[in-house]
Amino acid sequence: MASERMAVMHPQEILINWSPQETRVAVVENGAVQELHVERALERGLVGNVYLGKVARVLPGMQSAFIDIGLERAAFLHVADVWQPPAAGESLPAHRSASAPPKPIEKQVFEGQALLVQVIKDPIGSKGARLSTQISIAGRQLVFLPQDEHIGISQKIGASQREALRARVLALAEAAAAQAARNGQGSGARGGFILRTNAEDASDAELAEDIAYLRKTWARIRQAAQRQPPASLLHEDLSLLQRVLRDLAGEHTQAIRIDSMEQFRLLMDFGREFMPQAAARLQHYKGERPIFDLFAIDEEITRALGRRVALKSGGYLVIDQTEALTTIDVNTGAFTGTRNFDETVFKTNLEAAQAIARQLRLRNLGGIIVLDFIDMGVPEHQQAVLQELRKQLARDRVKTTLAEGFSPLGLLEMTRKRTRESLAQMLCQPCAQCQGVGRVRTARTVCYDILREILREARQFNPREFRVVAAPEVIEMLLDEESAHLASLSDFIGKPISLQAEGTLGPDRYDVVLL
């Protein structure tokens, strides 16, 4: 697996466009944008932040406590989220054991107590943030659990590799703890770790670097907890800029260019301390042109928000994203090929396989994804397209699962882990006119709706006149093609009907006013 992933890696650049309100990151390979990441200052969440909280109130009846962490609303701590040390002989903390119910919260916390807590759910509406006293710090390959001694492994890592990975991490973690104790930087406690999915292909050097970063971060949190007063923020989860060094940069990254000198210096300081290999590739971009203009990235963002994706051969993809799943349809378009129909279909599907994998990364599409390639009558062609898609998906840093083959209906099913909002969900909102449907009723349909509405109102009320307020194209049709029907209705109800065009109304919005 590792050799396969490394074989498909291409040299890449990471471009960072920073402004006080928004950070945008583009991962570029061979001149083409492969990934886009956006973080806005006003929309950044609190999940992962560590605070020194102060217990404001204990509620035994709800088995909960309100914790002051310095926010507008007190945060919420449930007894199930209170970490309990393992009993003698236990390998896991007691709160993970189904046979050991937690102690009542009133026996674990008290009003006025200073408590180290971490946000596990952002505030929503009138509800405060939800907290846990089980601290976890995420790295690139590992999650550090400083209060545990357990070594856990992601369920998505193959069972055949788990024990070997566990032994490697255990040896590296014990060596790091021993070194820290010798240097007077800790007690020698190893702590626990969970191996993330992308640790499957990590080298010992990468795992050791992650362990060093996580232990150093935990040491800083403990030191801050001793200096800061209650209701203080001790650790903020990494910003997008810092996650570039932790999660996006790798051995195949040639340069990381950022267009802000101030942020370049801050990121360089962070990188030198925690991720020196990634920091060595960091550069300050001083060009006159905006950094995203180098590869027309703003234009790429616009295209990534559309349904249709053109292929170089003349074919195209149609991508539809819904709540439950995403469908991608492949079409030949203007591509007719040079030999025969089967060859045309095969070449279009091969190109589509490459484009689909890129669009999944670019748009950050997750969940269930159904691919409708053009039907192929040659089994060898199907296998070649399937193999090409697997090869392209291997480049994805997000976990993907592809079905073994095409379904009886010729569809290919896959899943891609949801890691954050898709690009469209982050940058767009449902259309106010169509309410997210993607279509609006025709002017003629709206005309007939209006005629029925007038007849309905005339049966209940007796106004002097009916006035129709609608979009200009609807009014124009009522005056022209539907004028005879309008006149007949006016004669039938015995009331005049006047028309008023309103440009601010959507194409299928109208109002019937009784005068």
Q: Are residues 105 and 211 in the same domain?
A: yes
How many angstroms separate the CA atoms of 371 and 412, rounded? 5
Higher-pLDDT residue of 499, 434 = 499
**pLDDT > 90? residue 14:** yes
What pLDDT is recorded for position 274? 77
Long-range contact list for 429-434, CB < 8 A, 24+ apart?
A: 432/506, 433/506, 433/507, 433/508, 433/509
Hey, how many other C-beta atoms are within 10 angstroms of the C-beta on 275?
Answer: 23
Name the residue range of residue 493's domain: 443-514
Mean pLDDT of the chain: 86
Q: Which amino acid is at 245?
A: L
Specify if 272 maps to a domain. yes
* 213 phi and psi angles, rounded to 5 deg: -60, -45
Q: Which amino acid is at 446?
A: V
Which tens digit of pLDDT belongs to each residue from 257-286?
Answer: 999 999 999 999 999 887 788 899 999 999
Residues paired with residue 55 on neighbouring β-strands, in sequence order: 67
Under the banding of pLDDT at 50, 70 and 90, the label for residue 397 is confident
* 377 phi and psi angles, rounded to 5 deg: -85, -10
Q: What is the DSSP string of 177-197?
A: HHHHHHTTSS-----EEEE-G
Average pLDDT over residues 108-131: 88
**pLDDT > 90? residue 223:** yes
* 294 phi and psi angles, rounded to 5 deg: -60, -35
* Pairing mode of beta strands 400-402, 466-470: unpaired
Q: Are residues 389 and 321 in the same domain?
A: yes
Specify if 33 maps to a domain. yes
**pLDDT > 80? residue 379:** yes
Among 397, 427, 457, which residue terminates a domain? 427
Which tens digit of pLDDT belongs to each residue from 380-389?
Answer: 999 999 999 9
Which tens digit of pLDDT belongs to each residue from 144-182?
Answer: 999 888 888 877 677 778 888 889 999 998 888 888 777
How many angstroms separate the CA atoms of 23 and 239, rounded? 9
CATH number for the domain that contains residue 285? 3.30.420.60
Q: Are residues 292 and 349 in the same domain?
A: no
Higher-pLDDT residue of 397, 100 = 397
* 3 phi and psi angles, rounded to 5 deg: -65, -35
Specify if 60 maps to a domain. no
Specify if 407 maps to a domain. yes
Under the banding of pLDDT at 50, 70 and 90, the label for residue 334 is low
What pLDDT is recorded for position 410? 85
Q: Are residues 459 and 323 in the same domain?
A: no
Q: Are residues 182 and 133 in the same domain?
A: yes
The maximal CA–CA distance of the chain, rounded, in angstroms, is 99
Q: Are residues 272 and 315 in the same domain?
A: no
- Closest alpha carbon to 338 in 314, 311, 309: 314
Q: Are residues 273 and 365 in the same domain?
A: no
Specify if 365 maps to a domain. yes
Residue 441 class from Cβ within 10 Å (0-12 exposed, 13-18 middle, 19+ buried)?
A: middle
Q: Are residues 253 and 319 in the same domain?
A: no
Q: Are residues 214 and 268 in the same domain?
A: no
Among the listed ranges 133-137, 401-405, 446-450, which one has the minimum average pLDDT value? 401-405
- Any idea which residue has 């899943």 for tokens? 415
Higher-pLDDT residue of 126, 174 = 174
**pLDDT > 90? residue 324:** no
381 CB-near residues (< 8 Å, 6+ apart): 342, 345, 346, 349
Q: Are residues 114 and 220 in the same domain?
A: yes
Task: Count up the domains in the chain and report the number.
Answer: 4
Under the banding of pLDDT at 50, 70 and 90, the label for residue 402 is very high
Instruction: State how far the alpha carbon of 485 is from the alpha carbons of 194, 449, 495, 498, 507, in Å.
Output: 72, 12, 14, 14, 20
Among 215, 235, 255, which residue terminates a domain? 235
Under the banding of pLDDT at 50, 70 and 90, the label for residue 435 is confident
Q: Are residues 220 and 156 in the same domain?
A: yes
Residue 471 class from Cβ within 10 Å (0-12 exposed, 13-18 middle, 19+ buried)?
A: buried
Specify if 71 maps to a domain. yes
429 CB-near residues (< 8 Å, 6+ apart): none
CATH number for the domain that contains residue 505? 3.40.1260.20
Among 427, 453, 471, which residue terminates a domain? 427
Q: What percent of the chain has pLDDT over 90?
A: 50
Give the ranges where 159-317 is alpha helix by DSSP (H): 159-182, 204-227, 240-243, 261-274, 276-279, 297-304
Average pLDDT over residues 23-51: 88
Average pLDDT over residues 406-416: 90
Q: Are residues 290 and 256 in the same domain?
A: yes
- The token pair at 391 is 């090869």
Which tens digit of pLDDT belongs to each residue from 479-488?
Answer: 999 999 999 9
Specify if 354 maps to a domain. yes
Which tens digit of pLDDT belongs to each residue from 54-66?
Answer: 999 999 999 999 9
From first CA to last CA, the distance across the chain in angstroms is 75
Specify if 358 maps to a domain. yes
